[in-house]
Amino acid sequence: MQIVILKDAQEVARYGADIFTTQLQRKAESVLGLATGSTPVALYQELITRNKAGLINFSEASTFNLDEYLGLNGEHPQSYRYFMNEQLFNHINIDKDRTHVPPGDAKNPVVACQEYEAKIAAAGGVDIQLLGIGRNGHIGFNEPSSGLTSRTRVKTLTKATIDDNARFFTADEYQPHLSITMGIGTILDAKKVVLLATGKNKAEAVKAMVEGPLTAACPASALQLHRDAVIVVDLDAASALNDLEFYQHIEAENQKLQAYLASL
């Protein structure tokens, strides 16, 4: 894992946006794996700004989101389809027909999960997958105990996740307890993975992901198996790491190596 420790959330968003910018400049028809939640919002704002400035082009890109609440259709303000339209897709030059979010209103959700996997495969696989991390170590809605080779499927949300996400729902609004989520195996199949985490409340989850054992008890620890996983955190989210200074040293050396390679 490449562990990048930055000062604050704004720097994390910019670093993440740089990775997506480079990806789209190298391959305009990239398949982007996207995420919802509070963390990616600043990154999406940065991408919108760069798109409006003509620095990045989404017209040939396609996207696959990690997850969706089961029981909400895309017009529901708490659905992840609605979130993605509002936070990103409505503001960039992407063809909406090429944006994919698991269908929360599918009549047969089991078949819908298989179809989602088939669509990702037909698109050539995800080039770069954006992730956040839950306080319990989840990625997507792969809660603790999720199989480390799991595929897109229906998952039950933990009480901790339901409580964490209750802030987005009004008191009288139905909050789903089930989701459709890409599996951990689906996520590990992405060619590159970028996980963003900011704030003190993520520090223990980040530590378990980076320094803990590979275990279904912390689904994000599966990223230890990925050959190109970049973990981008601010100082608060990094604050529980034992070897923080070592990671900063590696990253400084890595930057020197990249500068040398670029000079060849």
And the tokens for 161?
């996740």
Q: Report, in Å, the least distance between residue 140 CB and ligand PGA.
A: 7
Angle between helices 9-26 and 40-52 (to 10 degrees): 50
One-letter amino acid for residue 195 of the chain: L
From 46, 65, 67, 164, active-site residue: 67
Q: Is 134 in the site for ligand PGA (CB under 6 A)?
A: yes
Gap between the Cα atoms of 166 and 257, Å rounded: 45
Contact (CB, 8 A) for 94 and 63: yes
Instruction: Look at the block and give the residue holding tokens 């999960």.
Output: 113
In 204-249, DSSP assigns E strands to: 229-234
| One residue of 23, 39, 51, 142 binding ligand PGA per CB under 6 A | 39
Chain centroid to CA 86: 17
Q: Is 10 in the site for ligand PGA (CB under 6 A)?
A: no
Give the nearer residue to ligand PGA in terms of CB position, either 74 or 199.
199
Q: Is 38 in the site for ligand PGA (CB under 6 A)?
A: yes
Contact (CB, 8 A) for 197 and 39: yes
One-letter amino acid for residue 71 of the chain: G
Closest residue to ligand PGA: CB criterion: 37
The helix/strand/coil state of 12 is helix
Q: Is 163 in the site for ligand PGA (CB under 6 A)?
A: no
Q: Which stretch binds ligand PGA (CB under 6 A): 53-61, 126-134, 205-213, 250-258?
A: 126-134
Q: Report, in Å, the least distance between residue 249 CB and ligand PGA.
A: 28
Q: Which stretch binds ligand PGA (CB under 6 A): 129-137, 146-154, 178-186, 203-211?
A: 129-137
Q: Is 16 in the site for ligand PGA (CB under 6 A)?
A: no
Total residues binding ligand PGA (CB under 6 A): 6
Active site residue 136: yes
Instruction: Look at the block and give the residue holding tokens 């190109």.
Output: 228
Q: Is 137 in the site for ligand PGA (CB under 6 A)?
A: no
Active site residue 8: no
Contact (CB, 8 A) for 54 and 24: no
**Contacts to ligand PGA by CB under 6 A:** 37-39, 132-134
